[in-house]
Amino acid sequence: MKEWRILPFGKAGAVENMAVDEAVFRENIRQKALPTLRFYGWRNPALSIGYFQDYAKEVDREACRKFGVEIIRRPTGGKAVLHEQELTYAVIADADSDLFSPDILKTYRVISGCIAEGLAKVGIPAEMKADERHSPDGTLRAACFSVPSRYELLVGGRKICGSAQMRSHGVFLQHGSLLMAFDPLRTCAVMLPHRNMDQDADLLRNAVTSVGEQAGPAVGEETLCRALREGFERLLGIRLREGSLTPTEEALKEELMLKKYGSEDWNREGRKSEWISGF
């Protein structure tokens, strides 16, 4: 049975969360380390925007400042996510292994299957949809959870998990959000463009659901982490061993926090790269 590393659940700021994901990803490229599974939360509310998103056109900076929401640009693609009451996962592994595939969509399908298995353990019957859905007219298109994608997880036709991915040198990082609770009005408030916010919020409310709504308050972060861990182990046929960041990863995390994710230039402008892809 193959062994993976799992990093213990913890909450951190937006800058640190993104720096850890990228540090593990880069170090895996450098030395082909053990695949890593990570679950984490957000110490303070944060709006993460996708690698290619236009900050000026899709983020309401004043609203974020008003509500105390930090803005961070992810290393992965996709649309904006308001991280507040959620459990975030990250998988870093070799894309060309027998568990995954050089095909991005197939990798999404495998990981979505693991998450669906974990959700089933807490009584949430998530379905994986292979086809794309059409967004209702007027839905806030800057928001990840309003944008349909293949192999997304739905409960009763409503999205419960949004994910994005990046790849380089045969290694991928996929991370995504499982909403513990969802506030559509707050989500609309921090993203542009503003049209009819009440109407957009109603559309989002009908398109998105959460763990809390489906399973109730008894299923908290620790319970969900255990269920998801079992889902990954069962579907992938792996054993997860608890570990921590290596000294090299720690040093790289600190460098990324200082020079990249803590930089206003990065979070406002980003930079293009042909090997990053997201949904």
Catalytic (active-site) positions? 144
Nearest to 147 by CA among 65, 86, 58, 236: 58
Instruction: List all residues 6 or more positions away from 108 whose beta carbon is below 8 Å from its beta carbon.
Output: 149, 150, 151, 163, 165, 174, 279
Distance separating alpha carbons of residues 150 and 269, to the nearest angstrom: 28
For residue 119, how many C-alpha atoms fall within 13 Å in the half-sphere facing its CB? Answer: 26
Query: Beta strands 158-168 and 152-155: pairing type?
Result: antiparallel
Q: Give one DSSP letter per residue of 17-34, joined into a string.
A: HHHHHHHHHHHHHHH---
Token duo for residue 62: 């004043």
Instruction: List all residues 6 or more positions away from 3 whose beta carbon is below 8 Å from its beta carbon.
Output: 34, 238, 239, 240, 241
